[in-house]
Amino acid sequence: MVLKSLDSRLDLKNFDLSELEAWLKELGEPGYRARQLFQAIYAQGQQDITAISTLPKSLRYMLTENAFISSFSPEEVLKSADGTVKFLFRLDDNKRIESVLIPQAGYYTLCVSTQVGCAQGCRFCLTGKMGFKRHLETAEIVNQILYARAHLPQPWPLRNIVFMGMGESLHNFQHTLKAIQIILHPLGLNFSHRRVTVSTVGLVPQMLKMSEAANISWAISLHAPDNQTRNFLVPVNKKYPLDALLEAMKRMPLPPRKRFTIEYVLLKEVNSTLKHAHALAKLLKNLPVKINLIPFNPHPGSEFQAPSWELVLQFQEVLQKYGYTVTIRQSKGADIGAACGQLDGQPQAA
């Protein structure tokens, strides 16, 4: 269903191309008009329907009577000492979300949100403490990207989109999928499928469904090598335990040369002993994975701490001896609350 704004006009960014074609066909317009409109919105960044010169004036008038093109402007922009930028967006219902622009070697990665809050309740994540407020519409997901792309601090390309912001993207399946279709489409944002990554805590049915619907990269938020520890850290594990999650990964049609990224937040005296490292290595045996270790990023009121750097390196070394590719995430933006697990949708002054 395409959502309407408060004045009953349709937000065109809530349509994927097929929906746009169907809607314009109902209005008596040929399919190529939808492609022209879609390209104007995304490839050209057009925000004013009346200025889309590829469309006849009569169609532009009809569209302005029935639809509009939404856009985002941040309530707050915070810049980290390391170059990371955090955008705080206030939505039409006054709820807030955040997205994070991360500088890398000559390009940017954007971490986008898919929900206000999150229903998964992971114990180490500040967003999870908010609880679930609502899903984002397709337009609200895509507008994060369009705003960031138009406001890059350096003349570097926006190269990667990662669905790792606020919320569990597969819980908001419909709007996440439509946003991905817009991001990947040659007439849309035209990102490579290798540059779009969906992160999930392991919603098994939705993982299988998404893997059939879209060719993307995957990050699995694992965080524990056994069910007891993972039940404590990631409550959804009680519904979809490790055996089910690993079986789903085996069934997902991963393209050649692609691997799952295993996200593993290291928590002192919880999941970061060398015993845990050996167990993790054995758990992931024969799966096409690379492992990303994330030393815990603290936030006010957290019950956890990060392990020592020495232990982090030892944990990495154990996994490498089993033959895994293992990186340690140098989390950026911690000084502005923009690092992994620190997003809470609140202005800094609050």
Using DSSP bridges, classify how beta strands 96-103 and 10-11 pair: parallel, antiparallel or unpaired: unpaired
What CA–CA distance (Å, rounded) separates 2 from 19?
A: 9
3-state SS string for 197-216: EEEECCCHHHHHHHHHHCCC
Phi-psi map region of 202: left, alpha, beta (phi>0 left; psi -120 to 50 alpha) = left
Which residue numbers are catalytic? 98, 340
DSSP conformation class of 326: E
- Token pair of 297 as six digits: 């990023």
Q: Which residues have C-beta within 8 Å of that of residue 282, sequence separation ≥ 6?
A: 225
Residue 108's SS3 state is strand
Strand partners for 200: 220
Check the CA dihedral 262-265-270-273 and report its sign: positive
* Sequence-ordered alpha helix ranges (H) in 89-137: 126-130
Angle at 174 between CA 15 and CA 108, to 5 degrees: 80
Strand arrangement of the beta sheet that strand 108-111 belongs to = 76-79, 85-90, 96-103, 108-111, 158-163, 196-200, 217-221, 260-266, 289-295, 326-328
Q: Own/partner pairs for 31-37, CB < 8 Å, 24+ apart?
A: 33/59, 35/187, 37/12, 37/63
CB contact at 8 A, 95 and 135: no
Phi-psi map region of 4: left, alpha, beta (phi>0 left; psi -120 to 50 alpha) = beta
